[in-house]
Amino acid sequence: MVATLQALRPPRAMRWVLRWRWITFGLIVVAVALAFFVHHWWIFVLTACFLVGAFYSYGIAKHRGRIVGEGSEGEALVAKVLDNLQMDARVLHSIQFKSGDKPRELDHLLITHNTMFVIETKYLRGRIVGDVIDREWTLHKRAHKTRSRYKRAFYNPLKQVATQIYHLRSHLESNLPERWAHECSQIWIQGVVVFAHPQGDSSAVVNHEHGVVAVENLPQYLANYRPPSRASRLSYGLRREIARVLTGH
């Protein structure tokens, strides 16, 4: 049975949603204060500008909040699948660390005796197309209100997870004691992209060889995965130390 070492937490992007909400509130307060306490004709113009700014910032907060909310829903779905895996492993959710002087965030990390899986969740409604080597993939979908078709490009999640693996390994090797850092350099880290939306069609991009799976096939993929023969096993001590570095306890 999987041991859950760290529960799902609100994503880092939620901070920006809260900031935009506070900006909206602040602009409204300033506009109301000016209208009540300062009685000059040009103040009404300035008040109108503040209200327009508040309307604009509210729109940004609402839009970003919807995106973050959908992403969190997908991560919760994948977290539930990982927490209920019938295998000897450790799982961490919502991992945040710094590497290259920048904050990094992993949706999920599954640590087994022979592989460490960096799992990126994508919660996209619509049909996804793309190739492993493409810089961007394309999402085809219909608008909610008008039902018109449109498409948008998004960064290839395989390249995204490859970058995450690079920074994760660098972070671990820099923060683990020398003995464990050397052992960590020999282990295999596999990136996995999981498409979790029930109304998403990822059939054109699903590729188990490269770690692209639909959420319903994730348990089977993880159970059947075999790392390259050159990869070293993860000792109990290394698994414990990795969890300590990433969770702080």
Q: Which residue has the higher pLDDT, 25 or 140?
A: 140
Question: pLDDT tens for residues 53-85?
Answer: 877 777 766 656 665 555 567 888 899 999 999
Residues 161 and 120 sit within 8 Å (Cβ to Cβ):
yes
d(CA 80, CA 215): 11
Task: Read off the pLDDT band of 119 (50, 70, 90).
Answer: very high
Residue 237: pLDDT over 80 = yes
Residue 160: pLDDT over 90 = yes
β-pairing, 149-155 vs 116-122, is unpaired
Joined together, the tokens standing for residue 230 give 């050159």
Which residues is 152 bridged to in the sheet? 139
Q: Which of 96, 104, 153, 81 minimizes the C-alpha distance to 124?
A: 153
CA atoms within 13 A on the CB side of 245: 22
Q: What is the pLDDT of residue 136?
A: 94
- Name the packing angle between helices 157-175 and 236-247 (round to 10°): 100
Q: Rounded mean pLDDT of the chain?
A: 85
d(CA 39, CA 42): 9
Q: Domains in the chain, please, with CATH?
A: 3-247 (3.40.1350.10)
DSSP label of 141: E
The SS3 call for residue 216 is helix
Q: Which of 223, 225, 243, 234 minimizes the C-alpha distance to 82?
A: 223
Q: What is the pLDDT of residue 4?
A: 74
Question: pLDDT tens for residues 133-150?
Answer: 999 999 998 776 666 787
Task: Read off the pLDDT band of 227 (50, 70, 90).
Answer: very high
Residues 191 and 165 sit within 8 Å (Cβ to Cβ):
yes
Q: What is the pLDDT of residue 38?
A: 65
Residue % of the chain over a pLDDT of 90: 50
Mean pLDDT over 182-209 rounds to: 93
Is the overall model pTM greater than 0.85, yes or no? no
d(CA 127, CA 38): 55
DSSP label of 199: T
Q: What are the backbone angles phi and psi of residue 139, rounded to the nearest 5°? A: -105, 120
